[in-house]
Amino acid sequence: MWLVEFYAPWCGHCKRLEPIYREVALELRGTPVHVGKIDATRHSNVAAHFQIRGFPTIKFIKGDQSFTHRGDRSKDSILEFANRAQGPPVRKLSSIGKFNEARSRHSDGVFFVYIGDDDEHDDLFKKYQTIAEKMVTQGYFYYGRKHILEEITPKKHPTLLAFKDNDYYEYFPEDGVVTMNGLQRWINSERYTAFPEVMGGSLNEMVDVKKYLVMVVINPEIKNRMDANVRMGQMHASTREVRFFIIVEIPALAHSFFGCQELDGY
């Protein structure tokens, strides 16, 4: 398994990433993940093979699979990307304790849990696993038996649950029939919290969810005053009509995508 940065010597963003990427390499030393860099201007055939369109581009390469990092270019974001990509795509929760650990670990995010018997031939599980393999860098996917849920009582068995915003949502297939497209639409629609922050290239992915978005553009220095807005975002998301709010901390990004500009006094 390889974590690879494709760069160009003249690229300013690549130069700014260099010390961060060096820290990532040190963090992953001694793990199954090897870290490398490729000068795409010298090895253009390799860059073309991996469809590199801009710099820097970070790829995780595992066998014949490759995944592109689309998050923030920070050490934590890149390490989380590598952790997700190396898999396994679906992780087992064997006990109540393991489930509670996962819930605590992802308390500010989203994770999915398939609840059912250990039947690898179950149609819902097979489709869930196939989608998890494709979306392994975009979410956390688990499976376990019903006893791990403790006080939670799903309406179906087997079933699929999305945990986020201190709540959970159960998957009910369209017309009662589990289809690959229908399941993927549901997972895609539930993979963001009520009030997510836009990081790097994540805005395009949020738009692809095809839900209504309410955007808040803020100065990073006032982020610690956002608690009331977070509660408002969760309240509206619970109605399932205004689906989620997003925070944009980069004025240039807000202007580029939405034509917004900063106002004095805000």
Which residues participate in catalysis according to the annotation? 11, 14
Asked if residues 37 and 5 have their Cβ atoms less than 8 Å apart, the reply is: yes
Contact between residue 117 and residue 167 where contact means Cβ atoms under 8 Å apart: no
Contacts of 266 (CB under 8 A, 6+ apart): none
Task: Could you list the beta-strand ranges (E) of 48-184.
Answer: 57-62, 65-68, 91-92, 111-115, 141-144, 159-164, 167-170
Residues linked to residue 167 through DSSP beta bridges, in sequence order: 164
Query: What are the two backbone dihedrals, phi and then psi, of residue 161, each rounded to the nearest 5 degrees?
Result: -125, 140
Identify the CA nearest to 166 among candidates 225, 233, 115, 223: 233
Residue 51: CB atoms within 10 Å: 10
Amino acid making up residue 186: W
Give, as one character, the DSSP assignment of residue 22: H
Signed CA dihedral, 210, 216, 219, 220: sign only: negative
Sequence-separated (6 or more) residues with CB below 8 Å from residue 26: none
State both tokens at 134. Answer: 């494709």
Please give the Cα distance from 22 to 35 (Å, whole number): 9
